[in-house]
Each structure stands twice: as C-alpha cells, then as structure tokens.
Amino acid sequence: MNFKKGKLFFILFFITLNGFGQENWTLDNCISYALDHNLTLKDYQYLENSGKESYNQSIRDLLPRVNGFADYNIRYGRSTDPNTNDIINTDFFSNGYSMSASIDLFQGFQKINTIKARKLLFKANKEAAQQQRFLLALRVMTAYHDIQFYEGILAISKEQLSISEANFKLAKKQIELGLKAGADLYEAESILYTDQLDVTQSENQLQAAKLTLIQEMNLDNAQTIQLNPVVPKTISETEIETDSIYGKAKEFVPLLKAQHLRTEAAKKELGIVRGRLYPSLSFATGYGTGYYETTRDTLGVTIPFKTQIEDNASRFIGFSLNVPIFNAWSTRSAIKQQKIALGREQNNLKIQEQEIYKAIQQLVQENKALNVEIIQSEKQIMAQEQAFGVAQKKYEKGLFTIMELNLAKSMYATSQNKNLQVKLQLQINQNTLSFYQGLPIFNINSTN
C-alpha cells in the first residue's frame, strides 16, 4: 500500500483540484468582492463624505453672507402711514425691498481653527474607513485560510478512511482463511465507522468555514465556494524585530493615524473655544427701498412705482465690535472641558499605541515559536509515517493487532493535522506582520 500519498504538500495540491470546472476564487478576489459589498464599509463611507462636507463648509464660512428681502402688505382700517407716520383710515398697500451683506473680519481665529480641525477630522474619518477595510481584509484572509485548513483535514480524513477500508477487507479475508479471530473484524469495522464519521465531521467543518467566508464577503446566492491556493510569503529573520515593525506600524496603521489626527483636531478645537475670549469685529452693508400707495404728489396722484423706488432708496455701511465682558464663566468652563477632551484623545492615542505594540510583540513571539514547530512537525510526520508503515507490514504478517495498527495510524494522522495547522497559522502570522510593516499584502487603497 502506498503511504507516501500522505505527504502534506501533495494533499494541499490535491485539494485545490476538487473545484475544477467551477469558478475558483483567489484571496485578492475575495477581498475585493468583500470591500465592494460590505455594508459596514458603506456606513464608514457616509461618515467620510459627511466629514468632507463639514470641512468644505468651514472654508465657505469665510465668505460674506448676503440676504435679500421683499414684502407686499395690504392694510385695512386705521393704521400708520409708513411714509408720513400719520394715522389714516384708508386701505392701501406697500412694497419693501432690501439687500444686506456682512462678513466677519475677526473672531479670535475661530474660523481658521475650525477649518484646520474639520480638515483633521475629515482625514481621521478617511483613516478610520481605511482601518475597517484592512480589518475586513484580515477577516477574509483568516476565513480563506480556515477553508484551506479544513480542506487539508478532509483530505487527511479521506486518506485515513481509505486505509481503514483496505484493512477491513484484509481482516475479512484473513478471517475467511482462518488466520485471524472474528473479533478483529469487529474492531476493524469499528475503526472504519469511526473514520467515516471523521470524514463527515471534516466535511461539515469545511462547509461551516466556507459559510463564514461567504458571509464575510456578503456573497449573494452562494451555498459553497471554491478557492485557489495562496502562495506563502516568508519574512526573513532580520525583519522579525518588535521595535522595527512597531516603528513602521506607527507610520502606516490607519488606526494610529486616525487617532493622531483626532488628537491634533482636539488641539485646534481648544483654540476655537479660546477664541471666544477675544473681541469680534464684523463689517456690514445694505440697501433698501420701498413703494407706498399713500405717497402722492401735490395733486393727490400716487407717485409712480419707479420714481418711489429711486427716491426711497437708503444705504448703510458700518462696522460692529463685540467685546465679551462677562458670560457667567461659560467660556472658561468650555475651555476646561476642551482641555479634558484633549487629554482623553492623547490618552487614547497612547492606549492604541500600547495595544498595537502588544499585538506586534505577540505576533513576533508566535512567529518564532511557529518556525520551531514547523521543523518539529515535519520530523514528526516523517517518523510517524515510517512507524505506521512498519505497523502496517507487521499487521499484514499477523504480528500486530488491529488496535495497535489503528494507534499508529491515528498518530500519523495527528502529526499531519498538526503540521497543516502550524503551516497555515504561520502563513496568517506572516501576513499579519507584513500588514503592520505596510507591505502590500492586500490590494487595498483609500478609493475603494
């Protein structure tokens, strides 16, 4: 019996052929689809667009404000003539028209600081949206590798089942020839049923892993999915240093960039509140005119509309200075509150930097451990494979019981499973470390 087929890289190659004739998804395809169809990301896009509009409006707030006014009034009974201020008892109508413009000349740099704060918050929203893209990509990557893991487990389970089927037939034949007792057949049958159950459970775990990926991608009308293998990306040992990776992460990770921008925005917002302590200066100008039915000439004829509009015109121009003297300490209180808010943002930045450093520290330690486990698990596979081969030959010669053979077979399968698990864990670990170093492991940009 050819037991060499249990070699792991042949298993991983074999499982990728199961979906032949169907659409196979690469990791990049899965991530791109998830980015385009994830509803949470769309919500972050709305927040980003809202921040952009707030920033644009803060710039437009520097422009003058212009307002126009017009009215038409019909008066009945006793009223005041708007032209002469005499009390009259006549029905009449009037029109009024005016236009005014004003602009703030100085407000303690509140508007300038508002523009800077809104710009920083807009950039922070962009980085927060980018962070969610990367988190989604990491979840898709993990789900993708989980499928590969369970595909490998299923292949190993099927291999174990085929061995048990062959041994069951061998035991049955040997019993017919009188070489073994009938109890061996029952034991071989029990092992066969156990392996059939393992195959069923592996298939169920694989389908559950596929469902997880389908849900992460928000893939419509899909019951299953076929994947292409991922080419492992290795990191040289010289790059596996916590401090060097953390130094790159501080410049790259969107979560840290977003919090740094929020901290800077909080400083500008403190400047906005402090600006309320300063006097404010504004400039205004305007034009007004009107038409009144009661305005008549010496002959008692109502003066024409055009003439009244020209004659009744009035204009104004002026400056307004507002000096804050006392407002129940509300501005001072607002400054204290904003200082507290700034302190919280600075503390949150330190917390996030600390959490990122711890995550990288754990990944580096895990990377070193997994590299050692890879070597050990490869040696274990070779040893267990040889031990199983010897046990199989001894069983065929009647020197081993079926239970002793099953123990060797189980230990061989366990070594395969561990090796497969360690390889995929190392792959996820290295991809995550590459992410923290800003390497292009995902095809993601801020325009997605």
- State both tokens at 337: 């509150």
Those residues of the chain that have pLDDT short of 70 are 1-23, 83, 177-182, 230-239, 445-448
pLDDT of residue 292: 86
Q: Give, to the nearest 10 degrees, the angle between helix 8-15 and helix 402-436.
A: 70
Residue 234 falls in which region: left (phi positive, over 0), alpha (psi -120 to 50) or beta: beta
pLDDT of residue 57: 96
Instruction: Look at residue 298 and give its three-state secondary structure.
Output: coil
pLDDT of residue 258: 96
pLDDT of residue 11: 44
Contacts of 387 (CB under 8 A, 6+ apart): 408, 411, 412
Give how far Cα 124 sits from Cα of 176, 249, 255, 264, Å: 77, 16, 9, 10
Rounded Cα distance between 203 and 197, Å, is: 10
- State both tokens at 439: 């390497």
Report the amino acid identity of residue 162: S
Rounded Cα distance between 206 and 410, Å, is: 21
CB 389 within 8 A of CB 409: no
CB 219 within 8 A of CB 32: no
CB 165 within 8 A of CB 409: no
Can you give the residue ranges of every domain in the chain?
A: 4-66+108-279+328-436
Give how far Cα 10 sits from Cα of 47, 147, 160, 261, Å: 48, 17, 15, 49
**Alpha-carbon dihedral sign for residues 193, 199, 202, 207:** negative
Give how far Cα 16 sits from Cα of 12, 21, 34, 377, Å: 7, 12, 22, 23
Checking 335-342 for CB contacts under 8 A at 24+ apart, the result is: 335/270, 335/273, 335/274, 338/266, 338/269, 338/270, 338/273, 339/270, 341/266, 341/269, 342/263, 342/266, 342/267, 342/269, 342/270
pLDDT of residue 180: 64
Q: 95 - beta bridge partners?
A: 72, 291
CB 199 within 8 A of CB 161: yes
Select from 1.10.10.10, 3.30.70.120, 1.20.1600.10, 1.10.1530.10 the CATH code of 4-66+108-279+328-436. Answer: 1.20.1600.10
Rounded Cα distance between 232 and 423, Å, is: 9
The DSSP letter of residue 65 is E
Instruction: Look at residue 74 and give its three-state secondary structure.
Output: strand
pLDDT of residue 295: 82
pLDDT of residue 445: 60
Rounded Cα distance between 307 and 78, Å, is: 27
CA 235-236-242 angle, to 5 degrees, is 80
Radius of gyration of the chain (CA): 40
Contacts of 337 (CB under 8 A, 6+ apart): none
pLDDT of residue 181: 63
Instruction: Look at residue 320 and give its three-state secondary structure.
Output: strand
**Closest C-alpha to 425, from 217, 180, 148:** 148
